[in-house]
Structure 1
Amino acid sequence: MTPEPRHATDRALPLRERKKLRTRQALAAAALQMFSERGLDATTVEDLVDRAEVSRSTFFRVFPAKEAPAIEAEVELWTAVLAALGERPLAGPVLDALRDVLRETVGALGTEWAHRYVDTRRLVLAEPALLAYTGRYRAEVEQRLAERLADRLGLPAEDIRPQVLAELTTTGWRIAARGWVHAGGPGGVEVLAERVGEAFAAVPASLELTAPS
């Protein structure tokens, strides 16, 4: 179900790739606006393709389901994280590396993405079907993160530690982003990156908590 990621606009891309990118952007913008205005159920794929001025067949070449373009900001985030994790040298505590990758990715996505992410999360929380779709997407991201970590660390498939780290990563992200989104994204990606750092710092601190005997 994973949508292909939207890449940052880049004039170095071949013309055909730039056209595909513009089509993806137009469909994502149409979905975010129309789902917010009308609701998911009241908006059809035909409505989306009419707004973006593309064909229905083009829509399904770009996205696997009607819900997919509405979470494009989410897809951009995790696609960039996975790409960075594949390229970044790993040294020292892996949880720290995951924190740094996530913070750097958020910072690089920029102001326009931050606005879209806030709008996306507010829409997702208002639409149960989109919330479920996003949950399935994040589960897939966790699996891909775990596989990437196992590969980079040379660990066997039965080792559950990469899966634990992957789920800690998405949980840390949810905690960092939740209040920021609720407040309307104050301070932009700089503040969001700080919140990511705080959420990850709370992991070992939480594990050290003990109840009175």
Structure 2
Amino acid sequence: MTDDRSLPLRERKKLRTRRALADAALRLFTDKGFDATTLEELVEEVEVSKSTFFRTFPTKEAVAIEAEIQLWSAYLTTLERRKLTGLVLAELRDALLETAAALEPDWDERYVATRRLILTAPALLAYVEHHRSGVKKNVIGCLADKLGLDTDDLRLHVLAELAVTAWSVSGRDWVREGGHGGRQTLNRRLKDAFEAIPASLHLATP
């Protein structure tokens, strides 16, 4: 989340508050546990009011997974502005690669810490699944508009699922290894995951 000087001062302040809350939440939730840390403790840490918190994040779960939300929000923005040519699955892959490459350098560390935190709290795991469901719905809507198809077209649903699943598969070991190799390794694994999709569909017993 950059503090872009091209933005009005009010918007830059909102960004700084959002980042301060997300950083404090990740630190507190990691140290004390998600359930054991109260919202009162979080807002006190950042010295903002509860009303400011709820103007910034809808829930306690949302602030805990800010790095995850940041990724998918940027992905949807990237996909919306892309002119699709050729295979749609390749376009979804390239949009993810472009998104991951453009995230600020410290995102890696925050994302690894976030994914590890998620594994400690069932509420966070459920919230991530809920959020990703919304992402897939938005991907389907975006593709439907760009391709002139109905949102009920099952091909769009499969493609959206495949893109999110490819990210999950590629990021799993990367997170487990503490983000070793940085963004370059993550993107290589993402490419490998997408390349494995057509091969896996034709995999057959001897």
TM-score category of the 2 structures, normalised to the smaller one: over 0.9
**Pair 1:46 & 2:40 matched:** yes
The Cα of 1:157 is off from its aligned counterpart by 2.5
Q: Which residue of 2 aligns with 1:177?
A: 171
The Cα of 1:139 is off from its aligned counterpart by 0.8
Gaps of 5+ in 1: 1-6
The Cα of 1:110 is off from its aligned counterpart by 3.6
The Cα of 1:8 is off from its aligned counterpart by 2.6
Q: Which residue of 1 aligns with 2:183?
A: 189
The Cα of 1:40 is off from its aligned counterpart by 1.2
Q: Distance in 2 between matches of 1:163 and 1:27?
A: 34
**Structure 1 residues 12-23: aligned runs within 5 Å:** 12-23=6-17
Q: Which residue of 2 aligns with 1:114?
A: 108
Q: Which residue of 1 aligns with 2:56?
A: 62
- Letter of the structure 1 residue corresponding to residue 149 of structure 2: L
Query: Any idea what SS the aligned residue of 2:4 has?
Result: coil
The Cα of 1:190 is off from its aligned counterpart by 1.1
Structure 2-normalised TM-score?
0.97
Q: What is the root-mean-square deviation of aligned Cα atoms in Å? A: 0.9
- Letter of the structure 2 residue corresponding to residue 196 of structure 1: L
Q: Distance in 2 between matches of 1:49 and 1:113?
A: 22
**Pair 1:158 & 2:152 matched:** yes
Gaps of 5+ in 2: none
Q: Which residue of 2 aligns with 1:4?
A: none
- Between Structure 1 and Structure 2, how many residues are aligned? 206
Q: Distance in 2 between matches of 1:69 and 1:152?
A: 32
Q: Which residue of 2 aligns with 1:3?
A: none
Contact 1:81 1:105 (C-alpha < 8 Å) held by counterparts: yes
The Cα of 1:177 is off from its aligned counterpart by 0.1
Tell me whether 114-123 or 156-165 shows the greater mean CA deviation: 156-165
Contact 1:27 1:69 (C-alpha < 8 Å) held by counterparts: yes
Moved over 4 A (4+): none
Q: Distance in 2 between matches of 1:151 and 1:211?
A: 39
**Pair 1:37 & 2:31 matched:** yes
Q: Distance in 2 between matches of 1:170 and 1:28?
A: 23
Contact 1:142 1:170 (C-alpha < 8 Å) held by counterparts: yes
Query: Any idea what SS the aligned residue of 1:89 has?
Result: coil
- Letter of the structure 2 residue corresponding to residue 189 of structure 1: R
What do the CA deviations read for 1:6-42 (whole angstroms, capped 9, x no partner)? x432111100000000110011011101110111111
Higher relative contact order (CA 8 A, sep 6+): 1
Q: Distance in 2 between matches of 1:84 and 1:122?
A: 26
Contact 2:18 2:56 (C-alpha < 8 Å) held by counterparts: yes
Contact 1:99 1:169 (C-alpha < 8 Å) held by counterparts: yes
